[in-house]
Structures are given as C-alpha cells and as structure tokens.
Amino acid sequence: MEHVDVIIIGSGHNALIAAAYLTRAGRSVLILEKNDRPGGFLRTEELTLPGFKHDVYAAAHPLFTTGPAYAELREDLEKRGLRYLNTDLPTGVSMEDGQTAVLPTAFDALMEEAERLAPGDGAALAGMFEQLNPYVNDVFGLFNMDLSGPEAAPIIKRLLHEEGGAGYSSFAASLMTTARNTVSTLKSPVTRAMLASWVTHLGRTPDEVGSGIWVPLTTMALMGGGMPTPEGGSEKLVNALVQLIKDQGGEIQTNTLVERIIVEKGKAVGVRTAKGRKFFAKQAVVATTTPDQLYLTLLKDTEISGSLRSQAEKFRYGRGCVQIHLALSEPPKWPDERFNRVGQPHLTDGLDGFTLAIAQSTADLLPAKPTFTVDCSTNLDPTRAPEGKAIMRVQVLEVPIRPRGDAASQIEVGDGTWTHDLTERFTERVLQVVSKHIPNIPSAVIGKYVVTPDTIARFNPNSGPGDPYGGAHDLAQSYLFRPLPGQPGHQTAIPNVYMLGAATWPGHGVNGGSGYIVAQKLLAN
C-alpha cells in the first residue's frame, strides 16, 4: 500500500494500539518499522540458553491492563492468543539486614503488613491514600487524555484549585513534594524503602521535586493492576496486536527506516525511506519518536519556528539502565517464601542507600552498591523455561550512560563505553548484592545476558544515548512541558503530524496511553 489514510512511523505498542483502533474503524493504515519485527521494547527472546524465554526490555504491563485500550480491545486480543498471568503480591522489598515486606493488592492486607513492621504505619498509609482519594479518579482519567486538549482543561483546573476558593488544592501542593517527604510519616524504614523506590521506574528520583505524588499513585496502580505479564512473554501483546491489525486490513513493513516526513503547503502528505521509497498518507502521519528526532531529522527539510527547533535541540535524556538476564538451574530460594509470589521486588539497604547510589550515578560514577528490582517470570509462567529451571531479570535503573569513574574505585571504566570487561565487572558487583538476599545466587546461574545503555541506544533511537524512558522526566520535561513547552501535546507543529510513545504524555512504560489518545484524535476527524 503506497497510498493510505494514515502512515505510522515505528511499531512500539502505542503505535500498534493506535493502528488497531484506526483499522477497526475502517481506516487504511501502513506501519513502517526499522527493526526486523514490530514491538519496540516489547521483545521476548532466548537470550541465554535454548528454552529460556526472556523479556529483553519491558516486562510487566499493570498500567496497560487497567487502561481503556485493554478494556476495549481485550476480547479481540484474547482471541489472538493473549493471556495475562498475575499475582496478588505485585511488589515488595528485601533489605540487606534480612527484613522484608510485601505490597498486597488487597487494602486490608497492606494495612496489616504496614502495622506488622511498625504500629501506626497502617493508619499513616491509609491517611496518604485518603488525602489523594478526592482527586484520584480525575488523575487516572488524565492518563488517557491529551493534557493540552479542551477535555483535560477543566479537570486540571479542578485538581489544582480548591473548590469555591481562590487558593491551590492539597493536590497542587503535593505536585511539588519529594518521595522522601511523602513517606516521612511512616516509621518503618522497610515500608519507606518499598514505596519510595518505585518512583525510579517513572524516571524520577526519591529526592527530586515532583516525585512525591507518584508514591501513592504508583502504590494505587499496583494494588489495582497487580503485576500482569503475558503468558509466554511480553512480546505476546505485540503478536496479538499485529494479528488484529492485519485481520482488520492494516499493513506492517519491517526493515524500513523512515528518513523524512514529506510536507507540502504546510501539511504532511507522506514519508520517504532511507532507500528513497515514498509512501503517501491522505489523513495523517503518526511518528513514534522523540521531539529532537522529529524536528531535527524527520522534519529537517520543513519550515519550523526557530523557537520550537531550539527547544528540540535542548531535549534532554536521562540516565541509563542495565538489565541482567539470568538462566537458573532452579528457582531462586528466597528466605521469605512470600517472595515466590512477588512480581517485582526491590533489593536494597534502605532509602538512604538507594539515593546514594542514584547520586553517584548522577555524577556519572558506577554506584558502589547498586539497588534494583528483580523478577522471576517463571514463578507465574513455567512455560518460560525448561521444567525445573527458572529465569530471572535484575533491573538496575539509574546507572550512568557513559561512566567516567567508579564510586568504589575498583572498576576501570576507560572511555565510558560499556565494553565486555566493564559489563562483566559491574554485573559481578550486582550479583554480589543479589547473593545477600537470595542464597542460591549466583550458584544457580547457568546462563547470563546483559543489556547495557549501549545495547539500548543501538536498538532504539528513541532512547537517545541509552535512556530507556525516552527522555528525562524531571518537572521541566513533564506534564504540559512534554514533549516540549512549545508543543504540550501529541499534535505537532504540522497539524496532521502526531507524536506518540515515551516522549509524550503519559510517558514511558507499557501503558498504551499515547496510542489511545492519538487514535481518538484521529477518529474524531
């Protein structure tokens, strides 16, 4: 198809969700993907040994399964093989001193766990939820709206201002707090570490202004959604979406890199690939991209305001990520048996140690004692490994993209490239920490594969130099400043060119939000 209604550049899950809606409505859609198969960061492969199926990048999908796209497409996706497995213990924390905590999906069970660790913390935690409760429906509703659109405006106003008063609401004040401040009412360092650490999965840090509101929001999201993952691997969501799109008449071409968006008389009319082939769009071009790539590359030949192009040039990327994929001869032997059901717990020595590791990474130093999450998909899904065996992923967020030194002065980093030697030595450091929490690690390890910031950068240009979250998420690049202050939404400077993906609201992760938002905009035209 060289003439279609909509061309979509890139095939991450948001692009596929948009295409599913558009093709269901009878629009002709062509998706052009530079990689060998669709899916972006949703990719499942036998990385270590035959029969061990690892989610190379993204794993669990709690925000997607609680959103409108899944609710509306679920039946069609399940007919095409998608089946989610879940747990009632989405997360927890294992402390270096042996203390543990779990976060159940049931409210009463969570209150009991908080009280067990420190009498009075159950009431304090309930108070945190109670403070947010008047705003929570509006907040979660915004995750599926363009913040710059007319539908969101009255909701944002309602959230920020006290009803009937001239002042700002308690919700507005909470937008400026830190995660450390939010958990300060809790007496247990274990509970504080379990809850505050999750803001790093949202591209924020516990001591960063603006991170505080994400503590109760993330906790509520985990309680509402659990830690679901598709049976057989994260890529099963991609497979089901792709089949649905094709069944509805859409087309996907892989190994096709789009070089330019063709604009005539202020309107996008198509795209040109790196091999010089042209495809034409009657309604719109949708780009799964970041604003720097959009305005400096894809729209390089188009007249764009100097201010917007300057903002695109200043778009910032965050820190990197290391993911260590392990094939195990046996399941991990947690001292706390509850962790055999926990989806993705943190391993840490506390909130202070966690923030120290982040501070070291911010200074471009390898953290002396990294803190991280682990997940063992075979606990829920034994099909992911041969019988009796297991897989585990260790996800170390907040590491330098280009380390210039080592906080422990033990690892030579060279020019900062993640060489085999640097990767091996850092992996050894991480596994030494894991061994303090799980006695049969590393002895049970029979295979290993490590994803570094360099790996991420090579695979997906939306990660820039190796940021898996598609751009820094501090306040200056969040909410109505995302992707750019001059473009506070998904519609770009070219009226029929739209952006979706991690660089746009509601951000990174498997949430489907931007795909849903853009689809609704296009279907309204």
CA distance 218 to 64: 13
| pLDDT single digits (tens) 355-366 | 999 999 999 999
Strand positions, DSSP E, 40-98: 44-45, 54-55, 84-85, 91-95
Q: For residue 48, what pLDDT is reported?
A: 98
CA distance 516 to 311: 26
Q: For residue 164, what pLDDT is reported?
A: 61
Q: If you average pLDDT over residues 76-99, what whole number do you get?
A: 97
**Is the per-residue pLDDT at 503 higher than 80?**
yes
**Is the per-residue pLDDT at 85 higher than 80?**
yes
Q: For residue 97, what pLDDT is reported?
A: 94
Amino acid at 91: T
Q: If you average pLDDT over residues 409-424, what whole number do you get?
A: 97
Amino acid at 421: D
CA distance 482 to 519: 19
Residues 6+ apart with CB under 8 A from 264: none
Residues of the chain above pLDDT 70, percent: 99
| pLDDT single digits (tens) 442-495 | 999 999 999 999 999 999 999 999 999 999 999 999 999 999 999 999 999 999
| pLDDT single digits (tens) 21-45 | 999 999 999 999 999 999 999 999 9
Amino acid at 82: L
Q: For residue 433, what pLDDT is reported?
A: 96
340 in Cβ contact with 331 (< 8 Å):
yes
Length in residues, the chain: 525
**Is the per-residue pLDDT at 166 higher than 90?**
no
pTM of the model: 0.96
**Is the per-residue pLDDT at 1 higher than 80?**
no
Helix (H) / strand (E) containing 155: helix 153-160
Q: For residue 242, what pLDDT is reported?
A: 98
Q: For residue 525, what pLDDT is reported?
A: 83
| pLDDT single digits (tens) 196-222 | 999 999 989 999 999 999 999 999 999
CA distance 41 to 33: 13
Phi/psi of residue 371, nearest 5 degrees: -120, 150
**Is the per-residue pLDDT at 53 higher than 90?**
yes
Q: Output the average pLDDT for the chain.
A: 96
| pLDDT single digits (tens) 236-248 | 999 999 999 999 9
